[in-house]
Every structure is written in C-alpha cells, then in structure tokens.
C-alpha cells in the first residue's frame, strides 16, 4: 500500500505552528498536501471544537480528552488515512502529542496512544517560553479560548511535557527554537522535510 508523508506541528499557544504550517504548505503546493488543524477539519471535529474551546461548558479533564480524541479519530477516518493511503503529504496543525501535553501533562489525565492513530513520520515542536507566546497572541489581537485561559502553571506543565516527549522520541520529534524569525524556522523545517519529500517520488 502507498504511504504518504505525515508531518505534524506542535507547541504551546502562539509558538508559530499555524505560520509554519502555511509556509510549508506553500512550499509544497505543487504536491497538493492535505492541510488540517485540530480540533476540526470534519463536521464532527468543528462541532466538538466549539464544545471544548468556546462553549463555556465546564468539562471533566478525562471527558475533554475523549472529545479531542473523538475529533481526531473522525479526522483520521475521513481525511488523513485516505490521503496517506494515496501517497499524499499530510500537514497537521496539532495532533495526538497535543492531548499528551495538554490533557496528560497539563491536567494530569492518563493518556495513551491508541493503536489506530498512526504515528507521524515527523513532528516539529516549536519551543517558546509560554509568556512570549501569550504576548504574540495579545499583540495579534487573538482572544483566549477555554484552554488558553488556564493558569500560567498549567501552560508551563504543558510546555514541560512537550519537552519530555521530544526527549523521549528524538527521531520523530524535532525541537525548534520558535523565537527565531519565521523564515529561519521554516528553513530548518525544510531541511528535514525535503529529503523525505524527495524520497516519495
Ligand atoms: N488542545 C488540547 O488541549 N488538546 C488537544 O488534543 C488539542 C488541542 C488538539 C487549540 O487552539 C487549543 O486546543 C489549544 C490547545 C488545545 N489551546 N491552547 N493553548 P487553537 O487551534 O485556536 O490555537 P493554537 O493551536 O494554540 O494556536 P495559536 O495559539 O493560534 O498559535 P500558533 O498557531 O502556534 O501561532 P501562529 O498563529 O502561527 O502565530 C501567533 C502569532 O505570532 C501571529 O501573530 C504570528 O504572525 C506571530 N508569529 C509566528 N511566528 C513568529 C515568529 N517566528 N516570530 C515572531 N512572531 C511570530
């Protein structure tokens, strides 16, 4: 079976994931990559996004974890798995490492990696001090969602868990200094992505 290339971006808020996803998508546009963001990308995912991020509902941490994972499973089923099976490139703005970091590291919920969730071929962790990411969001005029409104201690635990995950899987997860200029970060992303893309054709 053909297997495309599955690339994910992770990091705390304002670390530049969406910026890097867009730059990479533009660079690889001739290959028409599938670009997705989490939670979202399907009708179920977008509805669950509203519930977990914007509804104001008080959620149990484990219930929240299952909602993120239900959205992910539907995204895999509808879009990611078929695209990879056709040999396409998939670029995801957050994936299961987010649940490990936020619900696992941040909330202390036990989170495992389901056997039916494929591991990305490569993951970029955009590493930035939490307060700098928040400053970027404030200067961009972005209002905080339910998770973003959590305490600085929560976000520091999330950042620490991301660092731990990167240390545990150095071959998959490339840690990048997200305080560097956008183009410098993109250049480092491309230096890892290009050989893998060349190997596809
Ligand atoms: N969440 C969860 O808890 N569990 C899960 O399983 C999943 C998610 C999947 C999703 O929110 C929330 O859901 C998130 C985790 C939780 N909440 N938190 N925290 P979202 O999708 O709305 O937001 P986000 O994923 O956190 O992304 P973001 O905050 O929008 O930021 P970003 O994508 O990392 O950054 P950006 O939009 O590319 O850049 C932010 C600003 O910085 C912008 O003005 C850029 O122009 C600027 N920027 C970008 N790069 C640079 C550099 N290099 N230098 C200077 N300025 C830069």
Q: Which domain CATH number covers 107?
A: 3.40.50.300
Render pLDDT for 145-173 as a digit per residue (tens, 0 to 9).
888 899 999 999 999 999 999 999 999 99
Cβ(18) to ligand 1 under 6 A? yes
The pTM for the full model equals 0.97
Q: Tell whether the model's pLDDT for residue 95 goes beyond 90.
A: yes
Residue-number span of the structural domain to which 156 is assigned: 5-200
Residues 38, 98: contact at Cβ < 8 Å?
yes
Q: Indicate which residue's Cα is closest to atom 6 of ligand 1.
A: 99
Residue 174 in contact with ligand 1 by CB distance below 6 A: no
Query: 133 CA distance to ligand 1 centroid (A)?
Result: 8
Domain count, the chain: 1
Collapsing DSSP to helix, strand or coil, 173 comes out as strand
Ligand 1 atom at shortest distance from the alpha carbon of 96? 6
Report helix, strand or coil for 178.
coil
pLDDT value for 2: 58
* Per-residue tokens: 71: 């959205």
Beta strands in the chain (DSSP E): 5-11, 34-37, 89-93, 122-127, 173-177
């Amino acid at each position: 079976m053909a297997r495309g290339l599955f690339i994910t971006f992770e990091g705390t808020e304002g670390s530049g994931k969406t910026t890097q996803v867009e730059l990479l998508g533009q660079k690889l546009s001739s290959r028409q990559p599938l670009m997705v963001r989490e939670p979202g990308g399907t009708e179920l995912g977008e509805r669950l996004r509203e519930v977990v991020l914007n509804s104001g509902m008080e959620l149990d941490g484990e219930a929240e974890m299952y909602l993120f994972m239900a959205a992910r499973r539907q995204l895999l089923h509808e879009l990611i798995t078929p695209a990879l099976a056709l040999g396409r490139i998939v670029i995801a703005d957050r994936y299961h490492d987010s649940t490990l970091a936020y619900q696992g590291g941040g909330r202390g919920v036990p989170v495992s990696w389901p056997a039916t969730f494929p591991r990305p071929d490569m993951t970029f962790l955009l590493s930035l001090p939490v307060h700098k990411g928040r400053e970027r969001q404030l200067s961009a005029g972005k209002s905080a969602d339910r998770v973003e409104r959590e305490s600085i201690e929560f976000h520091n635990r999330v950042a620490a868990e991301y660092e731990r995950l990167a240390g545990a899987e150095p071959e998959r997860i490339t840690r990048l200094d997200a305080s560097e200029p956008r183009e410098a970060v993109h250049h480092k992303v491309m230096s890892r992505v290009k050989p893998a893309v060349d190997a596809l054709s």
